[in-house]
Chains A and B, each alone.
Chain A
Amino acid sequence: MSDPILSLQAVHTDIAQYHILQGVDLEVPRGQVTMLLGRNGVGKTTTLKTIMGQWTAKSGKILYDGQDITRLPVSARARGGIGFVPEDMGIFSDLTVEENMLLGCTSGPLDSARKEWLLGAFPALGTFWNSEAGNLSGGQKQMLSIARAMAEDRQLYLIDEPTKGLAPAIVSTMAQALRELKGQGASILLVEQNFSVARALGDSAAVMDDGRVIWTGPMAELAENKDLQERLMGLSMEAH
């Protein structure tokens, strides 16, 4: 197997007086979709934010493309090729859809071929291109958040619960776009509670509990083994 695009080694993160990440070890292989799974409150979102630099790792090491980025500022990590879709979507409500998309391009204007692809994947964004993003529906905002992260070619995408609370039809749109992104060779670390999406997209999985990664392996192995799911996450994923 080639070098992983991302590697976390014994990463600890505190938020105020709380010790959230307690030695996370994780590898994200190149060109694959890695699902980060686990119950609520086990540290999945904190892991993504620590990789992105929004929370600073107290100790441990984060290697991205072979480089130690543990102490790099957030913007340097993003410019290095990490795209981030936070759980709250981070949409700029006062800006138009177009302006939100332009902010996703740090190195120049939005490439026309890229725009065409994104509007093909998310047609609703084209319809409301010049409208304020704050007036979009929840699903459209989620599409915008993901499309904005994809506005430039990036090596690694950190995506936090992109299908949360969305209608099945939009979930399917979202999953298709992520599949296409994967098809372009991007690496994705995806926090996802929707089991069918996780099973359909995931190549590998890492399960977290209590601030640590307690299991890693192929997604298919986890998907097929209900006992393993219940042991790791306290429930069968089929129920979701």
Chain B
Amino acid sequence: MTAAPDHRPNFASVSLAERLDGALPVLLVPVLVVFGFFAIGVPSSWLTLTVSGLAMGMMIFIMASGLTLVFGLMDVINFGHGAFISVGAFVGVSVLIALGEWTGAASLLLNMSAVFLAVVAAMTVTGALGWGFERIIVKPVYGAHLKQILVTVGGLIVIEQLIHVIWGPDEIFFNRPETLKGAVTFAGAAMEKYRLLAVAVGLALFIAMRMVLRRTKIGLIVRAGVENGPMVEALGYRLRLVFVGVFIAGSALAGLGGVMWGLYQEVITAGMGEKMMVLVFIVAIIGGLGSVEGAFIGALLVGLMQNYVAFLEPKLALVSNIALMTAILMWRPQGMLPVVKAK
């Protein structure tokens, strides 16, 4: 047999600068945290704001992760994603209100059981809704971005109106479960219990998504499909089924994000998802469309930036994330961790 020639691989020519370049986006989060420390000056305030920023970032990541996967794998721009956030919040909060005795009891077990059931209900309903949305609204417009924007915005409006029909036009105020109220104090800094929970949930979800994407065959197919769908099919995989599965999962994650955000704000409205979509899109774009890791880093940057700037210069808070997106896109027009698109 003829042995393969001993020619030099490309690895040898990858310079240290090129290798570091890949890690730079990951370093942005600690850099921003350190910058925040010096800009704020008071350690306890900085710690409170950092935890708050991380919590906000995690919740935005939960909402954005599904959107970025759907775009990366299916090339679908889904503005209807915001509707799943709202529906998730309404379903979840309805369950919490129905389980008022559990949420009102000073029992961590009962409180967390209520939250768990609310999350399961929200994810089930939004997953099913996502399945119907994909079949009826998205499927006919695969490959046509302009039509996707028009029909998914239409779908968003219809679902928002349906929320008004089912739950009424008014915003719904509610209280968090008893044991999630209040704050813990650490090193002189007050940190809301719920925000710590949000950080834990977001981190657990990120790790779980990474495990699924990196360690399982279905994750392998999804990652390959993001890069080159036709080749995945040519290898024998029914990508269409994977598409639907990812859409359902993305919608369910939006529902989870809706519950988390609703609990964070303690008020829900039919338009809450639509309002969140600005931040969700910023995160998906700066992360690199299709990249879960990019969305995670982007969400943390957005959450931290929003909290630091709101403390330092409140008037600039609204534009800070747009400025962040502009700066990142000027640096990396494809986002921080772009997914290679061979198609």
A residues neighboring B (CB under 8 Å): 52, 54, 73-75, 78-79, 84, 86, 88, 90, 92-95, 99, 102-104, 106, 120-124, 127-128, 131, 134-137, 139-140, 143, 148, 167, 169-170, 172-173, 176, 180
Contacts and interface: CB of A to CB of B under 8 A. Distances in A.
A119 B72 CA distance: 32
A103 B237 CA distance: 9
B207 interface: no
B14 interface: yes
A94 B234 contact: no
Given A136-B10, A173-B2, A52 B234 contact: yes
B20 interface: no
Contacts of A102: 217, 220
Given A103-B220, A167-B7, A173-B2, A94 B235 contact: no
A173 B237 contact: no
Top-5 shortest CB links A-B: A78-B236, A90-B231, A169-B5, A106-B236, A74-B233
Main secondary structure of the interface of A (DSSP, over half): helix
Nearest to A84: B234
Interface string B210-250: 00000001001101100110111111111100000000000
Contact of B3 (A93, A104, A134, A173): A173
Interface of B: 1-5, 7, 9-11, 14, 217, 220-221, 223-224, 227-228, 230-239, 339-340, 342
Given A95-B223, A106-B237, A128-B9, 6 more contacts: A75-B236, A84-B234, A103-B237, A139-B7, A173-B2, A173-B3
Nearest to B237: A75
A104 B235 contact: yes
B235 A78 contact: yes
Contacts of A94: 223, 227, 339-340
Contacts of A172: 2
A143 B220 CA distance: 20
A95 B236 CA distance: 18
A92 B233 contact: no
A157 B234 CA distance: 12
B342 A103 contact: no
B10 A137 contact: yes
A54 B224 contact: no
A127 B230 CA distance: 28
30 contacts: A73-B233, A74-B230, A75-B233, A75-B237, A78-B236, A90-B234, A92-B228, A94-B223, A95-B223, A99-B220, A99-B223, A99-B224, A102-B217, A103-B220, A103-B221, A106-B235, A122-B4, A124-B4, A128-B9, A128-B11, A135-B9, A135-B10, A137-B7, A137-B10, A140-B9, A167-B5, A169-B4, A173-B2, A176-B1, A176-B2
B162 to A, nearest CB: 35
Nearest to A167: B5
Contacts of A88: 342
A197 to B, nearest CB: 13
Contacts of B11: 128, 131, 135
A177 B216 CA distance: 30
Contacts of A137: 7, 9-10
Given A94-B340, A102-B217, A75 B238 contact: yes
Contacts of A128: 9, 11
A95 B230 CA distance: 16
Contacts of B224: 92, 95, 99, 103
Nearest to B224: A92
A93 B227 contact: yes
Contacts of B339: 94
A134 B10 CA distance: 9
Nearest to A124: B4
